[in-house]
Amino acid sequence: MPGPYTLADIATRLGGRVAGNPDVLISQVGSLEHAQPDQIAFLSNPRYRARLAGTRAGAVIVGASAETLTQLPRLVADNPYAAFARVSLLFNPPEAITPGIEPSAIVDARAHVDPSAWIGPGAVVEAGARVGARASIGAGSHVGRHAGVGDDCRLFPSVVIYHGCTLGARCVLHSGVVIGADGFGIAQDAGRWLKIPQIGAVRIGDDVEIGANTTIDRGAIDDTVIDDGVKLDNQIQIGHNCHVGAHTAMAGCVAVAGSARIGAHCTIGAAAVILGHLSIADHVHVSAGTVISRSIRKAGTYTGMFPFDDNASWARNTAHVRHLDELAARIRALEKKLGGRSDG
């Protein structure tokens, strides 16, 4: 583990301004609730300011507006959450790998594995595949024919990359991720389904992180594309021929149907559903549990969460949903009787 560092050292290395004792020695990050005196915590959401009072942390990272809330040694930052990310990375750098191919790995003689890469036990690298410098392929993972894994990528155990799919540099893929399975392309033919061969691939940019058990399907004809810096949480499904723009982030369990085109710098909340063949502009934020059923042309926040209630209230109120058209007609009739609308 790196460190310990004084608070002053940390500020010098990573930026930010020190308030209070600059010499406190820090060896790890911690939460406000459980930090030890040699740990630094953070407060990014003022909602949790009450936790400052009881913390045993040796120092805290705060924004300027929270600077006076505590007398603890502080690192004052414009963006305290980003500052915390940097401090945590200082103390917890990505693990270095030991280059080599484990004896139980199965690497085709026609694969190109950089000598600085690591291929884990039982992993398979097929003919024509390429594994870049310092990349690590977790135990039992699979890199298909002519697939490409860029420099410094990290695949955790049990990741599958189908043939021809490519990852840029510094991607992180968690266990159970499947890249490049066939898209759901089927054509009705006299009551039966004909499979449409899925001959596109998946192209993933640099610095993409993909959570456990997320799946990204290969294109039907052209490729499915994930741009640089995209962050996908667990159990997300991206259909064939989607395009996800740079630096877009999606929370867990999002479903994106085929041929959706999602802009850059978007955020998609947990379990949202994006239907197929539509476009979403840059800088769109979709709330959790929302079904996006048509294109969104304008940046902004969009929501379609149905409100929950105690079960009895829900049943009483929701019964009217299936009669809203009738209710509206009754309002119109009342208005007519009274000489027309007078609400606006």
Q: For its own copies, give the closer residue by CB, 40 or 135.
A: 40
Q: For its own copies, give the closer residue by CB, 6 or 141.
A: 141
Q: Is 118 in the site for its own copies (CB under 8 A)?
A: no
Site for its own copies, residues 285 to 344, rule: CB under 8 A: 286-293, 300-311, 313-335, 337-338, 341-344
Which of 34, 146, 163, 240 is flagged as catalytic?
Answer: 240
Q: What is the DSSP letter of 296?
A: B
Q: Is 79 in the site for its own copies (CB under 8 A)?
A: yes
Tell me whether strands 202-204 and 192-195 are parallel, antiparallel or unpaired: unpaired
Q: Which residue has the tokens 């048509």?
A: 294
The rounded distance, in Å, linking the Cα atoms of 204 and 159 is 15
Cα of first residue to Cα of last residue in the chain, in angstroms, is 66
Name the minimum Å distance from CB 159 to its own copies: 9
Q: E strand or H helix at 160, and its extent?
A: strand 160-161
Site for its own copies, residues 226 to 265, rule: CB under 8 A: 229, 231, 233-235, 237, 239, 247, 249, 251-253, 255, 257, 265
Question: Which of 19, 20, 37 is closest to 28 using CA atoms?
Answer: 37
Q: Is 176 in the site for its own copies (CB under 8 A)?
A: yes
Known catalytic residue at 240: yes
Exposed, middle or buried by CB within 10 Å (0-12, 13-18, 19+), for 192? exposed
Name the minimum Å distance from CB 55 to its own copies: 12
Name the minimum Å distance from CB 33 to its own copies: 7
Among 117, 217, 243, 261, binds its own copies (CB under 8 A): 217
Among 81, 127, 295, 297, binds its own copies (CB under 8 A): 81
Longest dimension (CA), the chain: 87
Among 162, 169, 204, 262, binds its own copies (CB under 8 A): 162
The rounded distance, in Å, linking the Cα atoms of 49 and 60 is 12
**How many residues form the binding site for its own copies (CB under 8 A)?**
130
The rounded distance, in Å, linking the Cα atoms of 179 and 36 is 41
Give the number of other Cβ atoms within 10 Å of residue 329's Cβ.
11
Q: For its own copies, give the closer residue by CB, 114 or 302.
A: 302
Name the minimum Å distance from CB 301 to its own copies: 4
Q: For its own copies, give the closer residue by CB, 148 or 156.
A: 156
Site for its own copies, residues 20 to 39, rule: CB under 8 A: 28-31, 33-34
Name the minimum Å distance from CB 22 to its own copies: 23
Name the minimum Å distance from CB 76 to its own copies: 16
Sign of the dihedral through C-alpha 68, 70, 73, 78: negative
Distances (CA, A) of 208 to 20, 126, 168, 227, 280: 38, 23, 8, 8, 20
Integer Rg of the chain from CA: 26
Catalytic residues: 240
